Amino acid sequence: MLSDIHGPDDLRRLSPPELDRLCGEIRSFLVQSVTRTGGHLGPNLGVVELTLALHRVFDSPRDGILWDTGHQAYVHKLLTGRQDFSRLRKSGGLSGYPSREESPHDLIENSHASTALSYADGLARAYQLRGVTDRRVVAVVGDGALTGGMAWEALNNIASAQDRPVVIVINDNGRSYARTIGGLARHLDRLRTSRGYEDFLRWGKHLLGETPVVGRPVYDLLHSAKRGLRDLVMPEGMFVDLGLKYLGPVDGHDIAAMESALTAARDFGGPVVVHCVTRKGRGYRPAEDDERDCFHGIGVIDPETGRGVPGDSRPSWTSVFADEMARVGAERADVVAITAAMLHPVGLQPFADAHPDRVFDVGIAEQHAVTCAAGLAAGGLHPVVAVYATFLNRAFDQVLLDVALHRAGVTFVLDRAGVTGDDGPSHNGMWDMSVLGVVPGLRIAAPRDGTRLRAELGEALAVSDAPTVLRYPKGPVPEDTPAVARVGGVDLLTPVDPLDPGNDVLLVSVGAMAQICLETARRLADRGVRTTVVDPRWVKPIDPALLDLAGRHALVAVVEDNVRHGGIGAALSQAVQDEGLPVPCRTFGIPSTFLDVGSRSQILSRLGLTAEALADELGRLVLRPLTAS
């Protein structure tokens, strides 16, 4: 049946038994497809019936359906004509998130959480101002997105106009990556388990009877206390008191019940919350049995067993950090950890297992995480804030004014820094060094291998009067690259004499670009170009030893997997200019653009960040023959 679904209109002719059959086909398709490519399996298995109901009740794309977060939109893609998942999250294939380039059914490219309600508020305001009354705005909010403060800022505004319709569908599976934490999670738990006010009244009516002498007066008394009772036995009072009509809880796996609730919400004419309860990973036993994250995001696995297939056996950058944090935690009682709903993905689970009272998962709330860390530092602790590099962008103001201005000793560990590729343009961690480079007093370390990661984490934790940053990419950690010498705080990676005034190129390798830079130097040596490869280790601030080295070369070249604008190359070039050094500087990095989906190696190749391309360009710049000797 799935192959006959070309758009939402095809769904409306299906009978209930046919819909049930289609749900089974969709789940089978997702398991067979996503286990081959990797992607977000668990969240999408949980929204099959919900998505079918949405597309049967609302008229997409005329009615805008906004997904928050977008990783739960795979079923939406299937029902809107996109059923080739063979290259999901790969170059030339489907994005793992809604994509405006793929379909008019995708209004926003929403891959970061807690934003859809703000989009929805703005869209509804625009319709109202333009006099548009026949289009609906629906925001599907799930996987912990309501733990983000921006969602509540939007709710506050959505509730301010009772004549401006917005349908808010809460996909409540009790999870983000792992179980959702905090007061909101407890509130939704109460909603799931509450029998509701009407059930309470029915219970009282049954217990007390209906005779005027005994039961009825008591029943009337209960009814007269409706407001207080509602607050007591109907936890949805929080939404109602905001001015939001509340419907639910609804079984999110019952299509008929979902359609009934969504139809009522569509026709209400004001802001409505539809609270549906779903199960993440539904219909796939390995996901249902996975208490950690219900197969939230997977690599390539065996669809029958749910186990990973043999792949790269090297440890990942994340696992090296995880081991080192656990070791440091045993030695230093003042070290605590904070993350934003990503305890396992950023490698904090071993630390949490050993020190459960010293790790804080604040939900999808990066701004709060950063300022909370400043408070922890003020209280005499050294917090480590571990997030993906792309997500720290959301908390820049807090890093600048709440941490750096207060000279707080907070260490930020940025996983997935630089080019990540397969999660699309929003998840590349390619802005962090440019964004953080303007923060006074902040120091940035970029380790080139696992040994340097361990050492630089220790150096960061030794700083108590300023923020420090440790950033590293996604994927397996490379073999260690020992330094042949150290000048100041700068590691020399090649044995070229730095005091020889005849050296041609000073090649500055930033973090994980070391292997590419060393291969570039070997290729340049074949062409007669003498190259000194260095790793600054701490790329901010600029080490004075690096400036001294720059002055002894004919050309300085910086290779970084960060945007060129405002990056390390730009900072070094400015420092060279400020010192009055006559040496030209060239930066090889990422242009200020959003990158298409692809593997890390594919994207680096497109950008010319390969040894072959770098050697060709540097050879040309120093006017040496380009043929091998």
Question: In the prediction, which pLDDT does 617 show?
Answer: 95
Over the chain, what is the mean pLDDT?
88
Tokens representing 266 are 């569509």
- Across 316-338, average pLDDT: 97
* 366 belongs to an annotated ligand binding site: yes
Residue 443 β-bridge partners: 468
Instruction: Give the Cα separation of 498 and 407 in Å (integer).
Output: 36
- Structural domain boundaries of the chain? 2-179+243-288, 317-471, 485-621
Question: In the prediction, which pLDDT does 316 show?
Answer: 95
Which of 125-129, 409-413, 494-498 bottoms out in mean pLDDT, i.e. has the lowest? 494-498
Residue 175's pLDDT band (cuts 50, 70, 90): low
Residue 274 β-bridge partners: 169, 247
Active-site entry in 280, 471, 523, 540: 280
Task: Please report, as a single letter, which amino acid is at residue 502.
Answer: G
* 144 belongs to an annotated ligand binding site: yes
Provide the CA 262 distance to its chain's centre, in angstroms: 29
Question: In the prediction, which pLDDT does 209 show?
Answer: 41
CATH of 485-621, one of 1.10.287.3510, 3.40.50.920, 3.40.1280.10, 3.20.20.30: 3.40.50.920
**CATH code, 2-179+243-288:** 3.40.50.970
Question: In the prediction, which pLDDT does 223 show?
Answer: 42
Please name which of 346, 390, 394, 388 lies closest in space to residue 367, comparing C-alpha atoms: 394
* 284 belongs to an annotated ligand binding site: yes
Residues 3-26 pLDDT 10s: 999 999 999 999 999 999 999 999
Burial class (CB in 10 A: 0-12, 13-18, 19+), 349: middle
Given a cut of 90, is residue 513 above it in pLDDT? yes
Instruction: Give the Cα separation of 377 and 40 in Å (integer).
Output: 35
Kindly report the backbone phi and psi dihedral angles of residue 76, in degrees, each rounded to the nearest multiple of 5, phi listed first: -55, -40
* 120 belongs to an annotated ligand binding site: no
Question: In the prediction, which pLDDT does 80 show?
Answer: 96
* 143 belongs to an annotated ligand binding site: yes
C-alpha Rg value of the chain to the nearest Å: 28
Provide the CA 599 distance to its chain's centre, in angstroms: 17
* 71 belongs to an annotated ligand binding site: yes
For helices 116-130 and 149-158, angle between their N-to-C axes, nearest 10 degrees: 20
Residue 616's pLDDT band (cuts 50, 70, 90): very high
Active site residue 459: no
Helices (H) and strands (E) in the chain, counts: 25, 18
* 173 belongs to an annotated ligand binding site: yes
- Across 68-74, average pLDDT: 91
Active-site entry in 394, 443, 523, 564: 394
Question: In the prediction, which pLDDT does 187 show?
Answer: 57
Active site residue 100: no
Per the CB < 8 A criterion, the answer to whether 449 and 477 are in contact is yes
Please name which of 528, 497, 354, 512 lies closest in space to residue 429, comparing C-alpha atoms: 512
**CATH code, 317-471:** 3.40.50.970
Residues 256-308 pLDDT 10s: 999 999 999 999 999 999 999 999 989 898 888 887 778 888 888 888 888 88
Given a cut of 80, is residue 560 above it in pLDDT? yes
Tokens representing 34 are 């996503």
Residues for the chain: how many in total?
A: 629
* 145 belongs to an annotated ligand binding site: yes
Given a cut of 70, is residue 54 above it in pLDDT? yes
Name the H helices within 5-73.
16-37, 42-45, 48-57
Active site residue 236: no
* 113 belongs to an annotated ligand binding site: yes
Residues 356-386 pLDDT 10s: 999 999 988 999 999 999 999 999 999 999 9
Higher confidence at residue 218 or residue 257?
Answer: 257
Given a cut of 80, is residue 185 above it in pLDDT? no
Active-site entry in 109, 236, 366, 560: 366
CA distances to 64, 175, 233, 247 from 187, in Å: 28, 14, 12, 15
- Across 493-501, average pLDDT: 71
Q: Do domains 317-471 and 485-621 have the same CATH topology?
A: yes
Higher confidence at residue 177 or residue 451?
Answer: 451
